[in-house]
C-alpha cells in the first residue's frame, strides 16, 4: 500500500471517535473492499503519529465483562485535525486527477481468431 494511504484511513477513523487499535483494525477489515492490517503495522504507525503530535491517547479500563489491562484510546490533536484536512485535500486532488486522465481510456478488447475446422 502506498505510504500515506493507511495513515489517511486510520486518521479518518479516529476523527469519527476515539479508537482502540483493535477497533481500528476491525473497522479496516470490515470495510469494502477489505483492508487487512496487522497489529505489527498498526502499533508502530500509531506510535509514530503520537510522537509527531498528530495523536494523543488516554488510558481506559477494559469494558464491563472484559478482563484485561487498561487500554489506550487514541484521539486526534488539533495539529492532527489540520494534518488530516491536508491529507484529505491531497487525496481528493489525486483522485480527481486520476479520474480526469483515465476517464476516456478505452480498454482494448483482444479478439481471437477461431480455428475453422476443415471437413
Set out the domains of the chain in order of their start, with CATH numbers: 5-90 (1.10.10.10)
- Digit-coded pLDDT (tens) for 77-95: 999 999 999 999 999 999 9
Give exposure, 25-40, as e/b (b: 16+ Cβ within 10 Å): bebbeeeeeeeebeee
What is the pTM assigned to this prediction? Answer: 0.79
- Digit-coded pLDDT (tens) for 3-27: 689 999 999 999 999 999 999 999 9
- What is the 8-class DSSP label of residue 30? T
Amino acid at each position: 500500500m502506498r505510504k500515506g494511504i493507511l495513515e489517511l484511513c486510520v486518521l479518518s477513523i479516529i476523527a469519527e471517535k476515539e479508537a482502540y487499535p483493535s477497533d481500528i483494525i476491525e473497522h479496516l477489515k470490515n470495510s469494502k473492499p477489505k483492508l487487512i492490517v496487522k497489529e505489527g503495522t498498526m502499533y508502530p504507525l500509531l506510535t509514530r503519529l503520537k510522537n509527531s503530535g498528530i495523536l494523543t491517547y488516554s488510558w481506559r479500563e477494559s469494558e464491563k465483562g472484559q478482563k484485561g489491562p487498561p487500554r489506550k484510546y487514541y484521539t486526534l490533536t488539533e495539529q492532527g485535525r489540520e494534518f488530516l484536512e491536508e491529507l484529505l485535500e491531497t487525496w481528493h486532488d489525486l483522485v480527481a486527477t486520476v479520474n480526469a486522465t483515465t476517464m476516456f481510456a478505452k480498454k482494448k478488447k483482444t479478439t481471437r481468431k477461431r480455428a475453422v475446422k476443415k471437413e
